[in-house]
Structure 1
Amino acid sequence: MGPPPRIVAVGDPPQIIAVGDTPRIIAVGDIVTDVLAVLHRRIAPGSDTPAAIRLTGGGQAANTAAWLAWAGHPVTLVGAVGEDEAGRSRVAELAGLGVHCAVRRCPDAPTGTVLVLAGNGERTMITERGANLRLDPADVDAALADAPDAGHLHLSAYTLLDAGSRDAGRRALAGARERGLTTSVDAASAEPLRRVGPAAFLDWVRGVDLLLANADEAAVLAGPGSAADQATSLTGVARHAVVKRGAAGAVWAGPDGAVAVAAARRVVVRDVTGAGDAFAAGLLSGWLRGAGPAEALERAVELGGVAVSVLGARPGGAPDRAGTTTD
């Protein structure tokens, strides 16, 4: 027999878990098909622009779930797809990566689709959320009831940022709290945050254990300032806050005022699509296994570095944990 599991406290107030008895993460949010165009040069408006184009699985929650499974963390994805070939393919891909899919098929809406224009270290997304708007509070309650080993719920804020799925997002956070799960929210996207307004969004997520935002999202939610100041400001709403700064690394602020910083990995960047989702997966996997903020950030930037080195938002082309590629 090996040594007994190490007992750690996660969250504030703390939830006691045993490292080794890894808590399942319930990820709630979008599942889409990404039509990814990696541009070879700047877009020529009204004319042709060469690009490498591929069809891949996407969606913030689905991507994070895929990277969690790739990292060996048990995860259930709660979402909705259309009753179409795209929906069947997206669910099959996720199941093949080891994600448990609590996904409802909707006959009256197509599977979501996102056009992703990637180049020069940036990406622009043109979105049809489709069946993701049909996500219902009952879907979340059923998934939570079916996962007695769950210790944490992670919510993609896209669910909150659209009125069609907002009730499901709010129910996810409430249902998790009722069951004693810790919670996290990824702020998702700056422009939708501006549309709903930072005050409303911060009210919806008030009391979560961990809020993640990239630099643009943090500027919307906390105003201008350094990443450390923004993260510290956001701890007035969430118990812990992380600001993701891409190639500049990341900052974590906690309820005690302490700040941890991690530098980004030096890697060859092929495509930044899904890098923030992989970062979230690394962060959560480390934190829920008992890592402190500094170590959890290191795991996050490591997984984010793997993500930008492959095309697409999923780990399909990434080296597996033994060091060999999976496609």
Structure 2
Amino acid sequence: MPGIDAVLVGHAHSEIPERFVTNTITGDRVLLTEPLNWGMRLSVMDFELTKVRGQWDVTSASSSLLNANTVEADPKISQLVAEQHQRVIDYVNTPVGNATDSMPAAESRYRDTAVMDFVNFVQAQAVDRALDGGPNADLPVLSLAAPFSRTAEIPAGPVTIRDLAGLYVFPNTLFGVQMTGAQVKEYLEYSAKYFVQTTPGAPVDPATLTNADGTVDYNYDMMSGVDYDIDISRPVGERIVNLSFNGAPVDPAQRFAVATNNYRQSGGGNFPHISTAPVLVNQQTEIRQLLIDYVVAQGTIDPAAFAENNWRLVRGGAPVLDWAVCPSARVRVPFAVRVSGTRCRSVP
């Protein structure tokens, strides 16, 4: 688009101090800059102008990023918003229930964790209730969730709104769509491109195991309601193995209700089928509010009620990681034990 000298970029949650692209029509260089999300950086653009025949032309452009925490808050602005600021602090620090165990999200990218099972459990429960009494009430309900945060944790003991909002940082709302077993398989295959292909026997470093080809964490979905392995030694598109439902291989023609969020349902992440799937539930409630409502209603978050290690990373059938969490024992156990529901059972 001719006539653009600079673009302030957003939404990618990344930092671009300064970058130039060339306008393909005019040959002019266009400046791009992006500050980090949540006001943590400020982009500053500088232009040198020359007046030519009564019109100002840009002769040079540059940009840089400033850290927002290197200056003191403006006391006048702070005073103006002090009441609202304190109201927010009091709200997010409000205890809404208790957790029997600590549930960190640090390993959720590459292990099935209780904290992600919690999100999927609440989503599936909400969709199941919305379908109750209708023509699709008998559909099995699956659920999809992405690991939004690597630092979130539901602590043992009192749980606050801050803890739950930190786990689900986006204002996504709940959807339920209809998908077939074949579509579920293709969806999971697409999601599994998140992992770096790793040959059997090669060392595995969790720090470099994910985000293949630039796939961001929020575009990796894990699914509850079915069991499956992700074979990261295989190429993309051939990684989902042992996909089963209620102990039997998933029938490609079987219909499922799948709980998801409005971002996915609208095509976010370009996952297959989900944006064109028939909509069964469109609940205009934020998912993080559903999490809060669940804790308020139950009073207690107990992983034994929902934790289910239903997926794992493998190479040629051998587990990539050497332990899992057994919800009933609440301890780490060797991965020679497969965890199902709240009971651990041996596998060959």
**Which of 1 and 2 has greater Rg?**
2
TM-score bin, normalised by smaller chain: under 0.3
- Judging by fraction of residues, say which structure has more helix: 1
- Judging by fraction of residues, say which structure has more strand: 2
Give TM-score scaled by structure 1 length.
Answer: 0.24
